[in-house]
Structure 1
Amino acid sequence: MAAPGETYRLAFPSKSKPFISTGLSFPAACAHHVHAFHAYKVYVIVSNSISKTANFTKLEEALGPKIVGVRKGIKPHTPWDDVLEIVQDIRSKGADIIVTLGAGSLTDGAKVISFALANDAFTIDDLSKLTVDNKPQNPKPCTIPIINIPTSLSGGEYSPFAGATDTRTQHKKGFVHPSMGADLIILDPALSVTTPERIWLSTGIRSVDHCVEGLCSLDPRAPESAEAFEKGLRLLVPNLLRTKRDWEAEGPRLDCMMGVVDAMQGLGGGVPMGGSHGIGHQLGPLGVGHGETSCVMLPAVLKYNYAHGDEKVRELQKKVLDIFWGEEMIAGILAKRGLERDKAGAGDVVGAIVSELGMPMSLKDVGVTREQLDALADNCLKDVWLATNPVPLTTKGQVLEILEMVVGDEKSSL
């Protein structure tokens, strides 16, 4: 199925999808593979910002009359109302393939949309029955293929899991099925040059978060995924720093994208994440970007776990530290910032990297106030990944202790 000049392969050797396309411009690759899927009615979901650019025009020109519908934007954290509007639109237009151009909510949205279409979920009550919480019995697999053209590094396109926000409660709910997710992911580093710096770099830290929480997990499956997490970390962090220094360099951008694949391969082994992810899920409905949640929370959660964990927890963090200090570029930046290998903890090191990239480091930086912490902590306790943190987070007091570390006001503990 590869086009001339294209590299086309499975993302994960043990799974039947997704495939990855590199080497071609995204419009050419998309047009080729729409034809290869024998699709004739394309529904495009494009971010609002990209819809106003020449990049979207190029995609429209490449697909031509095959486009039967376009949705410009899905609101942050994928509200169910948006999902159901698109489900109805795709159904009415008879689309036979979904193409997303953008990242974040578009990616999760396409997964939930395809799952809803397969299971005739056309109302909020219908959609509610398909959530992880409600444990749907024998749901039908997705049938409409999805092509993702991502512009960030959050990695959701590689996962059969999606989060979307119940607009009745503003609580983010999970959806999962082996059939969910992209059939093809087109990686074009030239396209990503137009991604805003804060989104590119913060979502890169999101993937770093996957690797770090994966390597620190106490789950028995973690050692099986450790090699992929370590490889991802070694690709992601140095190349995020290189991208920060030379914004238009495509080589480091593609290396970041490949690091995301490794991070998601590790996650694909079933390793549960920890407190940074769990708290981050509930920061989302408060308007905090996917990647920014990791920038703020990962250093704090690492510090909390080191302070309250046992020797095994600390030993796993040391392995993460060895990876960082073993990369010459990272070690140089850490030393420049006054950190010493035998004294700095994993939280300090991750915090230094986030700071070097110029990303937000407190809740204040991302618009969350002290007055919101109480309700936030209550919502966080509903997230399954708090219980799988290396130091299980089972009480409101524990969550508030972590949040207090990163409030960013004059009363903050850090």
Structure 2
Amino acid sequence: MQRALRHIGSIFFIYSYQMAAKGESYRLAFSPNPKPYISTGLPFHKACAHHISNTFQASKIYLIVSGSISKTEDFSLLQSEIGNKIAGIRYGIKPHTPWTDVLEIVNDINEKGADLIITLGAGSLTDGAKVITFALANKAFTLDELAKLAADVKTPNLLPCEIPVINIPTSLSGGEYSPFGGATDMRTHRKSSFAHASMGADLVILDPALSVSTPERIWLSSGMRAVDHCVEGLCSLSPSVGEARDRTYKEGLKLLVPNLLITKKDWGNLDARLNEMMGVVEAMKGVKLGVPMGASHGIGHQLGPLGVGHGETSCVMLPSVLKWNYLNGNQDVKNAQKRVVDVFWGEETVATMLSGRGLKRDTADAGDLVGALVSELGLPRSLKEVGVGRDKLDILAENSMKDRCLPTNPIPLKEKSQVLEILGMAIGSEN
């Protein structure tokens, strides 16, 4: 009954609205898309228990929890709420979602017969759940079978995901809102994309109080990942973008950037955290519009397998990509970047920070502004700071050339030498 109603628009919305708990806000993230729904207003464990019983009517729950959260009282609360419905628990997925980790969980879920997956954490767990449900639907239990599901292989007639997913994110990376995920084949150290309209969470439970336990560097850098979505979205020159793109990405930046600065200074400010979470929704709404990303995303995808954290790839690459595009681009490229400049200077908290760092509105470009934000948040600005030296640049450029986002950069990157120029700007001082 639930799954049949999922795809018939307003009827499902009315039915799902009746599934909201008392005191809960429960709505579609991207109407009229049939999923995901967003839950706010309740402690995460109470919202989760309610929807297990009332929305999904599930009885065999498979939990995927980050290693750090598994040691906290928060995880104990969730376990207590679910009780004997827990069919299995996976403690962590390694960074950048190795295929081997994915397949271990696929085989475990298949054996246990789980009817609902819940992730408590972020990053690799979120991407992992998407690839896991896709692999289960298509009976991919080995590396070779999983390889056939990668987006660039273009295997025809792949089956849609069947097992529903609840994501309880503890970062701002936003992967819970997209129908595609990345996972790394450790045999080649290349990160591949997996994509299908059925992939992704059915329900996202947002609880700002839960996020206070997230390490500062992870929270703030994942926020920069969401900023990256907005910035590269606003800078896109794709003919498919328009006013709807501008509205959602500008709103995303207005929610994200000033509130990240507030969180840096006032860690326990829950209002700022909820605003950041809503900024992520706006950022991903732009992704849903089909706005292509650029070289910060493309190079960042391949930085991951070199050991760079998901959000930190944006901290390191976005300022240099913006600067390279500005220096090498035509007036259209510069005009697109002005959208970002106007939003940054239009927010009082942000403008004060930029002025304090010696920047002026009539001379600073988007790369300068984003770089100042990264520095103000105390995050890494260079490849050197994240452990990537010049000896890695050639293979990084080579792998990046295969990424889907390089051709959609405002200046399409068609030559390896172009990528190496950007990487040279991002490497940082070696003195």
What is aligned with 1:371?
391
Mapped partners of 1:382, 1:392: distance in 2: 13
Query: How many Å apart are 1:410 and its aligned residue?
Result: 3.0
What is aligned with 2:371?
351
Question: Does 2:190 correspond to 1:180?
Answer: no
What is aligned with 1:393?
413
Work out which of the residue numbers 131, 136, 139 in structure 1 matches 2:155: 136
> Which letter does structure 2 place at the counterpart of 1:262?
E
What is aligned with 2:106?
87
What is aligned with 1:2?
20
Question: Does 2:132 correspond to 1:113?
Answer: yes
Question: Cα RMSD over matched residues?
Answer: 0.7
Mapped partners of 1:366, 1:14: distance in 2: 40
Alignment of 1:71-82 (within 5 A): 71-82=90-101
Mapped partners of 1:344, 1:272: distance in 2: 25
Mapped partners of 1:273, 1:291: distance in 2: 15
What is aligned with 1:33?
51
Work out which of the residue numbers 243, 246, 254 in structure 2 matches 1:226: 246
Scaled by the length of structure 2, the TM-score of the pair is: 0.95
Q: C-alpha deviations, 1:347-383, integer Å up to 9, x for none?
A: 0000001100000000111111111111111011010
Mapped partners of 2:337, 2:214: distance in 1: 32
Work out which of the residue numbers 70, 89, 104 in structure 2 matches 1:51: 70
Query: How many Å apart are 1:409 and its aligned residue?
Result: 3.2
Unmatched 5+ residue regions in structure 2? 1-18
Mapped partners of 1:350, 1:166: distance in 2: 32
Work out which of the residue numbers 300, 308, 315 in structure 1 matches 2:320: 300
What is aligned with 2:29?
11
Mapped partners of 2:246, 2:51: distance in 1: 33
Q: C-alpha deviations, 1:33-70, integer Å up to 9, x for none?
A: 11120100000000000011111111100100000100
Query: How many Å apart are 1:14 and its aligned residue?
Result: 2.1
Secondary structure in 2 aligned to 1:21? strand
After the TM superposition, which parts of structure 1 deviate over 2 Å for at least 4 consecutive aligned residues?
none
> Which letter does structure 1 place at the counterpart of 2:158?
P
Mapped partners of 1:136, 1:42: distance in 2: 30
Query: How many Å apart are 1:265 and its aligned residue?
Result: 0.2
Aligned residues: 411
| Of 115-124 and 221-230, the range deviating more from structure 2 | 221-230
Residue identity over aligned pairs, in percent, reads 67
What is aligned with 2:81?
62
Work out which of the residue numbers 338, 362, 385 in structure 1 matches 2:382: 362
Mapped partners of 1:138, 1:234: distance in 2: 41
Query: How many Å apart are 1:13 and its aligned residue?
Result: 1.0
What is aligned with 2:38?
20
Question: Does 2:350 correspond to 1:318?
Answer: no
> Which letter does structure 1 place at the counterpart of 2:165?
I
Secondary structure in 2 aligned to 1:296? helix
What is aligned with 2:310?
290
Query: How many Å apart are 1:25 and its aligned residue?
Result: 0.3
Query: How many Å apart are 1:144 and its aligned residue?
Result: 0.2
Question: Does 2:157 correspond to 1:150?
Answer: no
Query: How many Å apart are 1:168 and its aligned residue?
Result: 1.7
| Of 364-373 and 216-225, the range deviating more from structure 2 | 216-225
